[in-house]
Chain A
């Protein structure tokens, strides 16, 4: 019941943002600054995670197919599981953890210090001022970050497959390139855009209506990352069902 009320509040938040801000230009300068911040700050985390995801995929694929005598299928496994599902999803989880929590805690701190009320007093619409640059910023960088995650995953699984597991590099590359099409990459981009919208609205909503004080900030940040992850995984299933089902 509480969860339903919460989702309703989120929907109202999104609608109210749309009504007040869709028709207006975003705050000048801020959008690029947010895009730069989200993109550049998340990059090292994203690269590290993608490297480990790729290496694990290769290890597990090798293990799963060895009883079948199909070690050569590792390339196919990495291509399908990594490119289609894991890389976009893990990228979204890490951006929720890095950029999403930052949005939530920044806005929650503004709520605690009554800066949001101050914006309203100055007749600046807080939805437009706070949410718009973050939304456009994350929409700008998320597809690029997802592509980077996909290629880092492929690269690291190539390294593990060839150097640790001793597979032939030409076979690996052949199976990967046979099983990844332009359509898979585009589907990943569609997912990235959906996840970007989810992460931004959920995190801003959590921060916007947080309780005041240090506990309130901590709780908002906590809630932001958990809810974004759960909603992203659910939408991942829906998007996959529509695109591949």
Chain B
């Protein structure tokens, strides 16, 4: 209990120190753009590979329901609302936590174990400013970008399932697609994913930065990163959803 509280406090201090270095110059802009680019590229495949089949599943199950009421034309509206508001932000962030978060924890952990971080400190280079801040900022930019790609892939999956496989009318699908969708849904998705990216980046870099205990320690840090980052942003998701779309 006491050690959990101590770890929480240490995480809070870490987050505060990183936030200060993200907000004040000098910035490590080159690394920031490089990390954003790498994360976006590496997560692109997994995000598309997950949201596309999920769009198909929503269409499959939704069609089964709406067939009972003879209201098949509501299907595209349901797909777009579900994908834009909830499915794509959550799934894209799960994949970012799994792919980018765990690779950050592994990278920083390996640097800690090999005493590279200590070496930068000895050279009077602020390792938080140089190594951690650009990674955290990069994730919180890359997450919304990937969410947008996930939106497109999910909608495409829904389209392929209902028009291509189940034989619904393509014109009806497109005409009803945006019935219930508002600009607020898109903006909400962007705000949500930027927050999730920030949470994932902080949790991942924390576990890498304070890694101990050799190769096994790095593995454990990576393991903890994925689980804890996912838990934290699911909790944040409930709060943000209540705030944006709540009753």
* A residues adjacent to B (C-beta < 8 A): 45, 48-49, 52-53, 55-56, 59-60, 62-64, 67-68, 76, 80-81, 84-85, 93-94, 97-98, 101-102, 104-106, 108-109, 112-113, 164-166, 213-219, 221-222, 225-226, 229-230, 233-234, 236-237, 240-241, 244-245
**Contact of B49 with A230 in the complex, beta carbons under 8 Å:** yes
Bound CA–CA A216/B230 (angstroms): 23
Q: Is there contact, CB below 8 Å, between A80 and B65?
A: yes
Work out how many contacts link A and B, with CB atoms closer than 8 A.
Answer: 164
Cross-interface CB contact of B57 among A45, A49, A52, A236, cutoff 8 Å: A236
B60's partner among A48, A213, A244 (CB-CB below 8 A) is A244
Distance in angstroms from B60 CB to nearest chain A CB is 6
* Given known A-B contacts A222-B102, A233-B50, A244-B61, A59 and B245 have beta carbons under 8 A apart: yes
B60 contacts across to A, CB distance below 8 A: 237, 240-241, 244-245
Q: A156 CB to closest chain B CB, in angstroms?
A: 10
14 A-B contacts (beta carbon < 8 Å): A48-B235, A97-B227, A98-B227, A101-B222, A215-B107, A216-B215, A217-B216, A222-B98, A222-B103, A225-B98, A230-B49, A236-B57, A240-B57, A244-B60
B86 within 8 A of A: yes
Q: Name the residue among B61, B95, B226, B230 with the largest chain A CB count within 10 angstroms.
A: B226
Q: With A60-B245, A214-B214, A240-B57 in contact, do A108 and B219 touch (Cβ < 8 Å)?
A: yes
Q: Cβ of B99 < 8 Å from any Cβ of A?
A: yes
At the interface with chain A, which of B27-35, B108-116, B130-138, B140-148? B108-116
Chain B residues, CB < 8 A from A48: 231, 234-235
Query: Which residue, of B54, B94, B102, has the highest number of chain A Cβ atoms within 10 A?
Result: B102
Name the interface residues of B58-91: CB closer than 8 Å to any CB of A.
58, 60-61, 64-65, 74, 78, 81-82, 85-86
Given A221-B106, A225-B226, is A109 in contact with B219 using a C-beta cutoff of 8 Å?
Answer: yes
Residues A225 and B216 in contact in the complex (CB < 8 Å), given A59-B245, A97-B230: no
Q: Does B176 contact A (CB under 8 A)?
A: no
User: Across the two chains, which residue of chain A brings its CB closest to B55?
Assistant: A237
Set of chain A residues within 8 Å of B78, measured between Cβ atoms = 64
- How many angstroms between the C-alpha atoms of A60 and B216 in the bound complex? 41
User: For the complex, what is the distance from the CA of A226 to the CA of B230, rounded to whole Å?
Assistant: 13
B56 touches A (CB below 8 Å) = yes
Q: Known A-B contacts: A105-B216, A225-B98. Give 9 more (CB < 8 A).
A: A52-B234, A63-B85, A104-B219, A217-B106, A218-B102, A222-B102, A222-B106, A233-B53, A240-B61
With A221-B223, A240-B61 in contact, is A64–B50 under 8 Å at CB? no
Contact B106 A62 (CB under 8 A): no
**B contact residues around A94 at 8 Å (CB):** 227, 230
Question: What is the bound-complex CA distance between A45 and B53, given in angstroms?
Answer: 25
